[in-house]
Structure 1
Amino acid sequence: MTSSLHTGSVLRRPFLDALLAALTQRLGTRVTTAQAVRDHHGRDESSYDPQAPDAVVFARSTEEVAFIAALCAQHGVPLIPYGSGSSLEGHLLAVHGGLCVDLSEMNQIVAIHPEDLTATVQAGVTRKALNEHLRDTGLFFPIDPGADASLGGMAATRASGTNAVRYGAMRENVLALTVVLADGRTIKTGTRARKSSAGYDLTRLFVGSEGTLGLITEVTVRLYPQPENLSVATCTFPTMTAAVQTVIETIQMGVPLSRIEFVDALAIRGLNAHAKLSMAEAPTLFFEFQGSPSAIEEQIAVVRELADGHGASGFEWANRPEDRNRLWAARHDALYALLQLRPGAKAITTDVCVPISQLAACVTETGADIAASGLMCPIVGHVGDGNFHVLMLIDPDSEEERERAEALNHRIVRRALAMDGTCTGEHGIGLHKMGFLIEEHGDAAIDVMRSIKHALDPGNLMNPGKIFSFTA
């Protein structure tokens, strides 16, 4: 039954009709096959053409998600979870059709425990909504992938962001999950305790699973005290290598910065135009310092000395909250700003991460590859943890440009792997990097992953076609 459904046989429609009838009986108008809604849920921020699901259902509770999953298992219909639609590697595309489960209405803050520095939220709560709720508590949630992503989606893709150099990524900040499995069973992974030696670490199994093992419906995360003081600075460098070498030395010196971001000259042009800024078009570092006034002064002194040693100039400070917010908003909106460098273009993105000692060589050699490609490819990066992004802006109607961009992507990723890095620092695998996952981990490791998938989802119903093939 399942294989017939996935190959699009004439058996598919009766199974889907039976499922939709059962769902509508309980959930009413929150089940829809309207084309506009399906189209909206069949696209993300990747360069792939949209692939719409057969229907969309809006869930409001874990119990409803469990009901939906059990019915899909009964009828052999795939499930694709949907949070805010901000993923970059084709995670949301319904490559086998099926039912999209939109979790955005699961937007309740379940519990805040300020004395324990934890929060439990439904999967559809966004990071901005959580921080707005926390604003008067003196606490905040630091993971900021740029887009106002849902916490369920951030857990599913193991998201990161500008604060990762100080606070880590989602992997380090998720304590527990509530997950609905492919057969409709609900499990809880972990507790609010800060550590445990009890059994397999199921929380880490589902963090980064991209919806292929289960649907995350609740997330318990770590919170942190809001910084006492903040100071933000930018400075420019004569070359990318000089900027990145400054980052390496800053990290190796143990300076406890909260953010270190790199933006190349082309990307600065895009940010200036989009955010009405006037930064010099040169390789640039964004620094954020936090702590007591004396601690910040000490950090600044060390960083300035290191930066000056690599030819830095034009230090500019943003100490007022409105100036800091404007600067970071420009950085977070980089994807949309950089797309405007070539109106009508699509962006093929890559986001490798390497050990910090290899970062300068990786970025410099990538710059040479970009120059040789003839493509417009700005670079930005969370370089404090060795992660950078290349946006390859291509004409969506030019197959030749797409081929050049993919060839460039292959060179960038394989260089990172050769440096003992990873094919993706935070975007995930989705559709785009399935082949690279095999190169990174090897066939034996992929077989282990596939065995876990078979054990938890034997019908291949949970976001099928993503991360790796179901069969060898």
Structure 2
Amino acid sequence: MNAPLPSHLLPEIKQRELPVELIDALKARFAERCSTALVVREQHGRDESSYAVPPPAAVVFAQSTQDVADVVKLAAQYRVPVIPFGVGTSLEGHLLAVQGGISVDVSRMNQVLSINAEDLTVTVQPGVTRKQLNEAVKSTGLFFPIDPGADATLGGMSATRASGTNAVRYGTMRENVLALEVVTASGKVIRTGTRAKKSSAGYDLTRLMVGSEGTLGVITEVTVRLYPLPEAISAATCSFPSIEAAVRTTIALIQMGVPIARVELIDGNTVRMVNAHSKLGLREETMLLMEFHGSPSSVKEQAELVQELANEHGGQAFEWASTPEERTRLWTARHNAYFAALQSRPGCRAISTDTCVPISRLADCLLESIAEVDASGIPYFLVGHVGDGNFHFGYLIDPNLPHEREVAEALNNKLVSRALALEGTCTGEHGIGLHKMDFLVTETGDGAVDMMRTIKHALDPDNIMNPGKIFSW
């Protein structure tokens, strides 16, 4: 059972009526690709958050940019909300129809439009997933490194400014999106950016749209950077006597400039869950899961240096994943940590949160937060992209016990407040959505949020683009 919205979010619930004339126009334009069936609407009215919100009034399955533009034009006539939908993996309520409206499903817009291997770029429709993209480009010797764990769409990843396990070396969507095609709130189609690696031509509208969470337009095309597949890839695990020891090792390797591709922290509690779920035999202690990219000699050099640093901080059982199959198994287990955690407490829901702090403050932030959740008695999982100071807690609550939700939300509030006090951010990669609207004000200040609101009002004067997200109208 999902939970109702907290009281501070109730003002965002302003259900808008979908006129019969609009439904008729949508069905005339899209025929069977416009659905008002409850089961379809409910599928598009939930994500991986635990909020209960009424589903959208209709779902349109778009197959082209013109489809999206036509939906938005019709919606704009009646001032009805439009909510983009990819595969529904968001965690902060991004796609919930808090004011009703039309869910525009772009999953059928899944064509790789052009691969420009010589320029290391590729252009795709928004419904292409990261795994599909890498399958399409593998014959070129290139790959797309942004890996948020879920097989998310490139449109959704752009909208939420996603990152993931490779960000410590390759950056986030912010650094890797070169150009976009976007349908604006009036139904116009605009292009932002080019395939050139840099530009100083006018406002950077690409960066404005990346991370806007569907509140300024619907992304219908994405051009991203590609990277050469490393000549050699090696993965390793190392266990530590404490979280602090693992974090200190990470800080040392980052400060020394070791070009590690991935460095993930998994606490002992979560390792136990992963072992049970994925049938692994990992040591059930705090662990770093690392990956090295480069030439065979550079990978060997990196790994030896990291092993030396780990030994200095009490690291032990440094083990190699010597084959691609073993590497894949390890990373699949890491990406399935969320589902492993849910399985550990049948019937539970996870209140997921993430923050990011300067890496020098990471140990302090983690240790205090762990002490709080341990004292609370709420089961939890903890994973972190610790190479860039980003980590995730998931509080596992019984949805039928309101007290547990209250405790989990209190823990989240303390965690985020601590990260902000340490000059970090309230979210490293999940986005604001519904869950962290108040924290955005705390982090950026009223003046910055007012500027964002001014942009929103100018580009979407009727507030039809995914309303009720990021900040209040």
Q: TM-score normalised by the shorter chain: which range applies?
A: over 0.9
> Aligned residue for 1:359?
362
> Aligned residue for 2:189?
186
> Aligned residue for 1:245?
248
Kindly state the Cα deviation for residue 51 of structure 1 after the two structures are TM-superposed. 2.9
Deviates most, 97-106 or 338-347? 338-347
- CA–CA distance in 2 between the matches of 1:188 and 1:133? 24
1:389 counterpart = 2:397: no
User: Where does structure 2 lack aligned partners over 5 or more consecutive residues?
Assistant: 1-12
> Aligned residue for 2:445?
442
Q: How many residue pairs were aligned?
A: 462
SS in 2 for 1:51: coil
- CA–CA distance in 2 between the matches of 1:23 and 1:89? 29
> Aligned residue for 1:102?
105
Deviates most, 45-54 or 380-389? 45-54
- CA–CA distance in 2 between the matches of 1:129 and 1:115? 20
Match for residue 28 of structure 1 among 28, 31, 34: 31
Kindly state the Cα deviation for residue 362 of structure 1 after the two structures are TM-superposed. 1.0
SS in 2 for 1:154: helix
Q: How does 1:62-141 map to 2 (within 5 A)?
A: 62-141=65-144
On the 8 A contact 1:354/1:420 being kept in 2, the answer is yes
On the 8 A contact 2:341/2:380 being kept in 1, the answer is no
Match for residue 157 of structure 2 among 139, 147, 154: 154
Kindly provide the CA deviation profile for residues 176-195 of structure 1, in whole angstroms up to 9, marking residues without a partner as x: 00000011011000000000
Kindly provide the CA deviation profile for residues 391-450 of structure 1, in whole angstroms up to 9, marking residues without a partner as x: 000010111111110110011001100111000000000000000000000000000000
- CA–CA distance in 2 between the matches of 1:181 and 1:8? 22
Kindly state the Cα deviation for residue 199 of structure 1 after the two structures are TM-superposed. 0.3
Q: Which amino acid aligns with 1:408?
A: L
1:349 counterpart = 2:352: yes
- CA–CA distance in 2 between the matches of 1:93 and 1:290? 39
1:455 counterpart = 2:458: yes
- CA–CA distance in 2 between the matches of 1:235 and 1:196? 43
- CA–CA distance in 1 between the matches of 2:363 and 2:74? 52
Q: Which amino acid aligns with 2:37?
A: A
Q: Which runs of 4+ in 1 moved over 4 A?
A: 6-9
SS in 2 for 1:294: helix
SS in 2 for 1:91: coil
User: Where does structure 1 lack aligned partners over 5 or more consecutive residues?
Assistant: 1-5
On the 8 A contact 2:432/2:470 being kept in 1, the answer is yes
- CA–CA distance in 2 between the matches of 1:60 and 1:8? 27
- CA–CA distance in 1 between the matches of 2:322 and 2:204? 42
- TM-score for both structures, normalised by structure 1: 0.97
- CA–CA distance in 1 between the matches of 2:265 and 2:14? 45
Question: CA distance change for structure 1 residues 335 and 51 in 2, over 3 Å: closer, same or farther?
Answer: farther
SS in 1 for 2:253: helix
- CA–CA distance in 2 between the matches of 1:384 and 1:456? 37
Q: Which amino acid aligns with 1:335?
A: Y
Kindly state the Cα deviation for residue 8 of structure 1 after the two structures are TM-superposed. 4.4
- CA–CA distance in 2 between the matches of 1:333 and 1:282? 18
> Aligned residue for 2:416?
413
On the 8 A contact 2:15/2:98 being kept in 1, the answer is no
SS in 2 for 1:248: helix
- CA–CA distance in 2 between the matches of 1:7 and 1:232? 50
1:260 counterpart = 2:263: yes
Kindly state the Cα deviation for residue 366 of structure 1 after the two structures are TM-superposed. 1.2
Q: How does 1:4-43 map to 2 (within 5 A)?
A: 7-8=14-15, 12-13=17-18, 15=19, 17-43=20-46
Match for residue 174 of structure 1 among 172, 177, 186: 177
SS in 2 for 1:135: helix
- TM-score for both structures, normalised by structure 2: 0.96
Q: Identity over the aligned pairs, expressed in percent?
A: 64
1:328 counterpart = 2:331: yes
> Aligned residue for 1:3?
none
* Backbone CA RMSD of aligned residues: 1.1
Deviates most, 320-329 or 300-309? 300-309
> Aligned residue for 1:424?
427
1:55 counterpart = 2:36: no
Kindly provide the CA deviation profile for residues 282-330 of structure 1, in whole angstroms up to 9, marking residues without a partner as x: 0000010111121112111211111001111111110201000000011
- CA–CA distance in 2 between the matches of 1:359 and 1:239? 14
SS in 1 for 2:69: helix
- CA–CA distance in 2 between the matches of 1:50 and 1:326? 36
Deviates most, 253-262 or 371-380? 371-380
- CA–CA distance in 2 between the matches of 1:366 and 1:301? 32
Kindly state the Cα deviation for residue 364 of structure 1 after the two structures are TM-superposed. 1.2
> Aligned residue for 1:222?
225
> Aligned residue for 2:277?
274
Kindly state the Cα deviation for residue 7 of structure 1 after the two structures are TM-superposed. 4.2
On the 8 A contact 1:39/1:50 being kept in 2, the answer is no
> Aligned residue for 1:290?
293
